[in-house]
Structures are given as structure tokens and as C-alpha cells.
Structure 1
Amino acid sequence: MGVVLIEHWTEFAGAALHRVDAGGHRAYAFLCAGPPVTAQGAPDAYHPDDTGSGSLHDSGWPSGAWRERLVPDPHQPQRPLRQAEGAQAGYFVSTTALADARFPRSNPQAYVDAGRVPYLAMPATWLAQAGAGGVGDFVVVHDRATARSSFGLIGDAGRGRALGEMSERMASDLSGVRAHARSGRGAPQGTLLCVVFPGSRREPAWPLRNSALRSRCEQLLRPLGGVARLAQLADSLAGLPALRPEE
């Protein structure tokens, strides 16, 4: 491993973002505390009776921009499509920006299940910036309090997303207990280090097994010192001064 350089890059939504460079192997990193937990993409995420793993309010239905998070019913496009069969019959079809092209948009199996897959959901306005990366890029999140890490990817993006918003599975990985999007129980409580590898997306980007996600993330981390250096990187970022607007 060579020298790891950390430099201020920019700010977004109150968070300072830093470029991390180890001999041309680049990533960027930021710290966040108490990010939202999402159920988006889970087949049981949203139910019209608000009994899903996520709050119906988070889907945008009935008054918000629900078409960004739910599939419209082709026969009644003014309403979301409900699953017709299976264990989640009656639930809406919850989408993610990352999807499996082998399935039609109406099939819940096309999307990244927040209950099973560790992923970050990023603001679309952030991903529109040069160097921010995109859906399908790999990410590693480290909890300074529990010393636990989660290995995943950017699985969703859109308006209203918070920097560091994460799937239930990623939150569970970090806290060590089952995390619930609806109640917030089990969400990580410490300061989190998020490391993003822009341009690391593979084709096809989805599906991938969680074991493959971890393997690829560990490979990307090696030039930066590997998993063992995540705590040190988090401490380094915590000790850096805030980025001033003129810098």
C-alpha cells in the first residue's frame, strides 16, 4: 500500500466530502450521523393500509411524487400497481433506480430489496455532479461506534434522498441488530464513514450476490489500506477542519 492522500473536495447538504487517493486509486468519503433508513425496493415495503416495512408516507402515496418510488397500474395509471399474487399480494411494487433488466418493470423481483441487500440511496442532485459516481457504483460504510462495516453499492437515487440514506440491510450490518425503516429501531447510532468508488459499476450492474458485493468492495479498498484502515480514515476525516466556501 502506498501513501493515502486525503483532500477537501466540496460540500453537499451540510456534509464535507473528501477525495481519497492512493497512487491513482481514487474514492471519496464523508461522515454522517443518524441517516434515514429505507425499505425501498423490498416487496413488502409499502401497503395501502400502511402496514408495510416502510411508512406509506415515504412512498409519496397518495399525495406526493409517488411515481418516483412506485410502479403505476397500467390499467389505472392514477394509482400504484398492487402485487396480484405471492406472499406480498396487495402490496405496492416499490422501485429502485438500480434494476434487473431481465424482469418487466411491474415485477418486484426487478428491484434491489432493501431488506436483503446493503445499499445507499443517494440524492439525484448529488449524483448529477461530476465525480460523484452513479447508481451501481460500489460503496463501503463503517460505523465508528460498533467497528462494523457494510459492503454494498448505490442502489437507489432520487429527489428527497439524504446523503447517507441506507437500506435496512445496510443499517442492520452496521448496528448488529435488525433495522426497521418504519420505526427506526436498530438503526446505527454512531458517526458513519461512507466511502464511494465512482466509476466502479460493473455491467450488468444487477443482480449481484452479497458475497460478490463484499469481495468487490474489499478489492477496491486494498489500495487504501483495506478494511483495517477504515477506522483510521474515519478519525482522519473527523479531525479535518470544515471546508470554507472559498476553498
Structure 2
Amino acid sequence: MNLLLAAGVLAVSLLGGARQTEAADCPFDEWRTYKNTELRRTADRKAYFWITSRTAIDADGAPKAYHPDDVGKPCGATGAGLDCPSNAGYPNKSWWPTVLASDPTNPSKAFVQPSGPAKGFFVSKTALQDSANGNERDTARYVDASTIPYLVFPRPFFQLVGTGKPGDLGMAFHLETQKQTAFIVADIGPDEPLGESSIALFKALGGNNPNPRNGSGVASGKVLYLVFPRSVDQRPRKWPMTQEGIEQGAETLLDAIGGMSVLQACATLD
């Protein structure tokens, strides 16, 4: 089934308030709760989903995510970079080197890109990286939040058995805009509830210029996130992938569990 059409069917069914589907029609069983969000997964543990209205926008990996001119300034709605350096922990938090590449000549400072389209910006990293690219200061090593729909897992969530790891694929469906997108799990976030994703993911779901600085520009309503844990193990390399490759991989995995008709039966359990 065409995914865009199917997503529309799913959203219409939800907006119409249909709640007559029985749990027996849904191959996803109750699994666990993470920070008040209920997760359900299949008996073979190859897929699980949750539904949430929480949104947090991640700019990490984008070549223009953070700029030195914004250091020390209040995190307003606008600035030189897509996000505020303070949200990357820079310069006062000890963990900023996990978000920004450090300067090899002065590791206490973040590296500034000397050339290219993002000249003058810091190099922002993601947990998912191209292992074949040994240059930590090359933006091509990371997953660009401005162009690739990706999901962020809180660090404690990664540590739970069965949730998956960076490079896993999934599908996100916005239950009100009726838009959908495939995604890749690409970054690690703080100990917060589920719902953080890249700029590109929220844009694909109907957002209008999603702003990591203040959270604006995201389409309101609930999103269903379906994850295929350890699906990354089916590929020879975790990263890079094209968006087309992410979509094809996620669609194949979705078809293997019954396609959109299965999610239509499960989504009303929220």
C-alpha cells in the first residue's frame, strides 16, 4: 500500500475517534512504560511503538547547528546558528565535546570550520557516525539534522534491553497532519521523556521551520513512533545512508509486520 495514502487512512481513523479495535487485533503487546509513555512491541521483539505529543527539536549534526557568535548570549528565537551553544553544553559543561568537535590545537575550545558552505560554524556531532571517516572535524561524518529525519533516544533508554541502538530504522506518523516519514535513530539525548527528533523529521511531519532554540514551528498533535530495534545489524555499515535508502529499508520492515493495516489496529489503543 502507498504509505502516504495509508498514513492518511490511519490519521482519519484516529481523528474520527474510532476506538472499536480490540487488542487481539493488534500484534503489539504491552511491554513497558518509560517516563509515563507506554511502549508496546511484537511477540518476536522485532518492532515496538509509542505515541506521544511531546516534541523536542535536535539540530545536532547540521553543519550550521552552532556558531561562535552565539556563545554567552541568551538563547533567543534567532541567532547565527540553528541552535544555541548552551544547548550543546558549550562552553561551561564538561560534556560539550560529545556534541561539538574539539580544536586539535586547543582541546578546551570547539573547532571552527575554516572553509566550505558552513565556514565559521562549529562542527556538531551525532552519536551515529561514519566509522570509515576518521576525521572528527568533517561534518560529513555525522547525520545532518536539517536534512535527515532522525530520532533521538535518551541515554537511559538506550541502556534498556530491547530498545535498539544508533542506526536502527523506524517510521513516524503524525496523527493530525496525516504526514509520515521514515527515520533513523541517530543521536543520544539527556534523561528526559521520549519525543526528541531532528529538524528534518518535524518538518516532514508538517512543521513550519522547526526551531531548536525555542521549540516553535512543530505541528501540534500526537506522533506515533515505530522502531525496528537492531535493524541496523542487517546492514554492512551503520552510516552513511541516503534518505531514499532509509525509506526503502523502513518500508520493507513495515511490510514484514503487516504494513499500515496493523498500525491502524494498534494506534487506537493509545
1:30 pairs, out of 50, 56, 71, with 50
2:38 pairs, out of 16, 21, 26, with 16
Instruction: Tell me which residue corresponds to 1:52.
Output: 81
**Between Structure 1 and Structure 2, how many residues are aligned?**
234
The Cα of 1:230 is off from its aligned counterpart by 3.5
Alignment of 1:88 with 2:118, yes or no, is yes
CA distance in structure 2 between the aligned counterparts of 1:71 and 1:209, rounded to whole angstroms:
23
Instruction: Tell me which residue corresponds to 1:211.
Output: 244
CA distance in structure 1 between the aligned counterparts of 2:45 and 2:190, rounded to whole angstroms:
30
The Cα of 1:101 is off from its aligned counterpart by 2.2
Q: Deviations over 1:95-122 (max 9, x none)?
A: 0011112321111110000000010011
Higher relative contact order (CA 8 A, sep 6+): 2
Q: Deviations over 1:14-38 (max 9, x none)?
A: 21111134xx472111111131011
Residues 25 and 19 of structure 1: CA distance in aligned 2, closer, same or farther (over 3 Å): closer
Length-normalised TM-score, structure 1 = 0.88
Unpaired stretches in structure 2, ≥5 consecutive residues: 1-24, 71-79
SS of 1:214's equivalent in the other structure is: helix
Which residue identity lines up with residue 49 of structure 2 in the other structure? A
Q: Deviations over 1:168-209 (max 9, x none)?
A: 000001115332222423213111111110110022011111
The Cα of 1:219 is off from its aligned counterpart by 0.7
1:74 pairs, out of 104, 115, 140, with 104
CA distance in structure 2 between the aligned counterparts of 1:148 and 1:225, rounded to whole angstroms:
20
Instruction: Tell me which residue corresponds to 1:102.
Output: 132
SS of 2:145's equivalent in the other structure is: coil
**Aligned residues of 2:172 and 2:180 also touching (Cα < 8 A):** yes
CA distance in structure 2 between the aligned counterparts of 1:78 and 1:131, rounded to whole angstroms:
37
The Cα of 1:158 is off from its aligned counterpart by 4.1
The Cα of 1:156 is off from its aligned counterpart by 0.8
CA distance in structure 2 between the aligned counterparts of 1:200 and 1:112, rounded to whole angstroms:
18
**Aligned residues of 2:84 and 2:213 also touching (Cα < 8 A):** yes
**1:81-230 alignment runs, 5 A limit:** 81-103=111-133, 104-160=135-191, 162-201=193-232, 202-227=235-260, 229-230=262-263
Unpaired stretches in structure 1, ≥5 consecutive residues: 239-247
Alignment of 1:40 with 2:60, yes or no, is yes
Residues 176 and 159 of structure 1: CA distance in aligned 2, closer, same or farther (over 3 Å): closer
CA distance in structure 1 between the aligned counterparts of 2:54 and 2:104, rounded to whole angstroms:
38
Residues 142 and 231 of structure 1: CA distance in aligned 2, closer, same or farther (over 3 Å): farther
**Aligned residues of 1:35 and 1:162 also touching (Cα < 8 A):** no
Aligned sequence identity (%): 31
The Cα of 1:142 is off from its aligned counterpart by 0.8
Which residue identity lines up with residue 92 of structure 2 in the other structure? S
Which residue identity lines up with residue 233 of structure 1 in the other structure? C
Over the aligned positions, Cα root-mean-square deviation in angstroms equals 1.9
Length-normalised TM-score, structure 2 = 0.81
Residues 151 and 138 of structure 1: CA distance in aligned 2, closer, same or farther (over 3 Å): same
CA distance in structure 2 between the aligned counterparts of 1:127 and 1:222, rounded to whole angstroms:
25
Which residue identity lines up with residue 67 of structure 1 in the other structure? P
The Cα of 1:233 is off from its aligned counterpart by 2.7
